Structure 1
Amino acid sequence: MTQHGYFHWNELMTRDTEKMKAFYAATVGWTFEGMDMGGGQTYWIARAGGEPVAGLFPMAGPDFEGVEEHWMPYLAVDGVDAVLEKAKGSGAEVLRAPFDVPGIGRIAILREPGGSKIGWMTPANPA
């Protein structure tokens, strides 16, 4: 399990997953495995040497209008709900309240006091 305060995951938010899969396969040798997100969407797990290293998230729909493509980092924290309360008390803004992703963990999205967006997550325990 990733330790509290360490970066746990990175996710490329993109409108063209096929283009970005081709780019990263050609440049750094990543391979990809798809995960059904429902609604006809596929989340892509990027692998290096067989190990998962990042994800490609398809930005589709009205929630992403006007949002530029970007990398989204996720910081591992112990007990995201409690740590998020500390973050709010220290000037962070919650952009998406904590939610659970089965088998992945509990995630919240926030804007730090300086304006940067970041995901904080309590990773799921390995089965």
Structure 2
Amino acid sequence: MDSQPAHGIFVWNELNTRNIEAAKTFYATTLGWSYEPMPIEDGSAYCIIKMGDTRVGGIFVLAGPEFDGIPDHWFSYIAVDDVDARVGAVESAGGTVLRPVFEVLGVGRIGIVRDSVSAVAGWITPRM
């Protein structure tokens, strides 16, 4: 990203799956995507999805008991101007904070929220 994304727009999509190799094969075959690994400080696997030289999304591996019962799915992230302040307003607006704000080095600060109609998304203030 060359400049700060505008507040309120979708900026990233991520496939959450237990079988990263099957997913990579499927999307490489059907959409022509390629991939590059992205190291995560906790040692877990993450993969950047690319179309040509353009980063178009990511793949996150659903590993561990905290993901039991959660099906494989696509997950969207929305850019916000101040994730700490915006997530702080979620509960008073009728939503739920599913994961408090956390830092992903080199990426930004992220909070996971459920809105007032039970839809879930990540809110991110990206690092530039």
Category of TM-score, reference length = shorter chain? over 0.9
**1:109 Cα offset (Å):** 0.2
After the TM superposition, which residues 28-47 of structure 1 pair with which residues of structure 2 at under 5 Å, given as runs?
A: 28-38=31-41, 40-47=43-50
The 1:52/1:93 distance shift into structure 2, 3 A limit, reads same
77-86 vs 9-18, greater mean Cα deviation = 77-86
**1:38 Cα offset (Å):** 4.8
Question: Does residue 104 of the first structure (1) align with residue 126 of the second (2)?
Answer: no
Query: 1:115 maps to which residue?
Result: 118
Give the alignment's TM-score, normalised by structure 2: 0.93
Which one of 13, 22, 28 corresponds to residue 19 of structure 1?
Answer: 22
Identity %: 45
Question: Does residue 51 of the first structure (1) align with residue 54 of the second (2)?
Answer: yes
**1:47 Cα offset (Å):** 0.3
The 1:38/1:104 distance shift into structure 2, 3 A limit, reads closer
Which one of 73, 89, 93 corresponds to residue 92 of structure 2?
Answer: 89
CA RMSD, 1 decimal: 1.1
C-alpha separation in 2, matches of 1:40 and 1:88:
32
Deviations 1:11-43 (A, max 9, x none): 110000000000110111110001122555320
C-alpha separation in 1, matches of 2:72 and 2:65:
14
User: Any idea what SS the aligned residue of 1:66 has?
Assistant: coil
The 1:40/1:86 distance shift into structure 2, 3 A limit, reads closer
**1:74 Cα offset (Å):** 0.3
How many residue pairs match? The answer is: 125
The 1:122/1:39 distance shift into structure 2, 3 A limit, reads closer
The 1:22/1:78 distance shift into structure 2, 3 A limit, reads same
Which one of 2, 6, 12 corresponds to residue 3 of structure 1?
Answer: 6
Structure 1: which 4+ aligned runs deviate by more than 4 Å? Answer: none
